[in-house]
Structure 1
Amino acid sequence: MRPEPGQVLHFSENPTITRFAPHVAATAQQPEAYVWAVDYERAPDYWFPRQCPRALAWVTPETTEEDRERIIGPGGGLRVHAVEYGWLEQMRTTELYAYRFDARDFRSIGDTAHAHVAETEVVPLGPAERVGDLFELYEEADIQLRVLPTLLPFWDQVITTTLGFSGIRLRNARPASAAG
């Protein structure tokens, strides 16, 4: 589930939203009110239940072969997304939906320009679309989905590499000491 050219997506577990109003999320690092959306490259970052902690890493032009082998490893693909065992059942059963928006209603934000925000109310281009089987999406996109007892040791390695990376909802991850 990715946006088509000229579109951005917003993922939700709620299929009944008809209008999106800017708000300041409880976890926001910016004080401004936004409606958030993602582009084609970052859509897979949100193929998860909303509260699921995840550590994501991908190859960039600056990535060294050593870092690629150490973190991505064999098995193909240029990305790895890691989750904890405790979230697998929710990944199997959560109904996730995507809302499509006209990208012209959004502007890029942040260092990577893959996140997009609207500062005014926006209306989706159509009704919410069921995302479908999350595991099938990863297979089709050739993204490794790694399952770990806890994300934090993996995250601590990823952030020291030349790979691109993102950590989402890491506050929900199991403490490394609990993974014993």
Structure 2
Amino acid sequence: MTGPDALAVLERRPDLVFHVSEEAGIARFEPRPMPRHPGNAVWAIDAAHLPHYLLPRDCPRACWARGAATTEADAARFASSAPRVIAVEWAWLARIRRTRLHVYAFDAAPFAPLDDIAGYVISRVGVTPVAVAEVDDTLRALAAREVELRIVPSLWPLHDAIAASSLDFSIIRMRNAAPR
């Protein structure tokens, strides 16, 4: 599927989960070893957390939103008018701007939840995409999903503060962040 609304159409379908890749033309996804989890699986994400992955694969990021257990103090400390915030480092901005993404949609039936706060789901069997949406402008895709994008010199202060907070959060690819 192409066009600016293609992904939005897929996201509205509750029977789908997603895998984002910089690689085009993947016809089938087979279970592979998962770091930090036993066994092989196909990894995907639910629609609510899809914005966390509308960035280059290796881009380090801190993502957060207010959750049911978020304290008023943490909500004020990390305030935003957006329902979801993603912070990335300045060093990644040019790559973010030029990256083209392919969002593979799968029938959710063979997937089971792995982490509800992060939106991770896994399938222990191979799956074939039912649709693919192209994302040519990741910044526009994030804006369309009401994500506040914060660009910072270093993610480490946010990493530490968010991990110690009551927010719902996901911290991704920190091994690629600027050194402390």
- With normalisation by structure 1, the TM-score equals 0.89
Q: Which residue of 1 aligns with 2:105?
A: 100
2:173 pairs, out of 160, 169, 173, with 169
Cα offset, 1:111, TM superposition: 4.8
Percent sequence identity is 37
SS at match of 1:158: helix
The alignment status of 1:30 with 2:37, answered yes or no, reads yes
Matches within 5 A, 1:117-128: 117-126=122-131, 128=132
Cα distance in 2 for residues equivalent to 1:113 and 1:156: 17
Number of paired residues?
171
RMSD of aligned residue pairs (Cα, Å): 1.5
1:63 pairs, out of 70, 76, 79, with 70
Q: Which residue of 2 aligns with 1:157?
A: 161
Q: Which residue of 1 aligns with 2:91?
A: 86
Which amino acid in structure 2 is aligned with residue 24 of structure 1?
P
Cα distance in 2 for residues equivalent to 1:57 and 1:113: 10
Cα distance in 2 for residues equivalent to 1:113 and 1:167: 9
Identify unmatched segments of 5+ residues in structure 1.
none
Cα distance in 1 for residues equivalent to 2:127 and 2:143: 32
Matches within 5 A, 1:4-23: 4-23=13-32
Cα offset, 1:69, TM superposition: 1.8
Determine if contact 2:82/2:147 at 8 Å carries over to the other structure: yes
Cα distance in 2 for residues equivalent to 1:111 and 1:93: 31
Cα distance in 1 for residues equivalent to 2:112 and 2:127: 13
Cα distance in 2 for residues equivalent to 1:94 and 1:122: 25
Identify unmatched segments of 5+ residues in structure 2.
1-6
The alignment status of 1:129 with 2:133, answered yes or no, reads yes
- With normalisation by structure 2, the TM-score equals 0.89
Cα distance in 2 for residues equivalent to 1:115 and 1:150: 26
Cα offset, 1:113, TM superposition: 7.4
CA spacing shift, 1:109–1:100, aligned 2, 3 Å: same
Cα distance in 1 for residues equivalent to 2:112 and 2:69: 26
Cα distance in 2 for residues equivalent to 1:162 and 1:29: 23
SS at match of 1:104: coil
Matches within 5 A, 1:138-153: 138-153=142-157
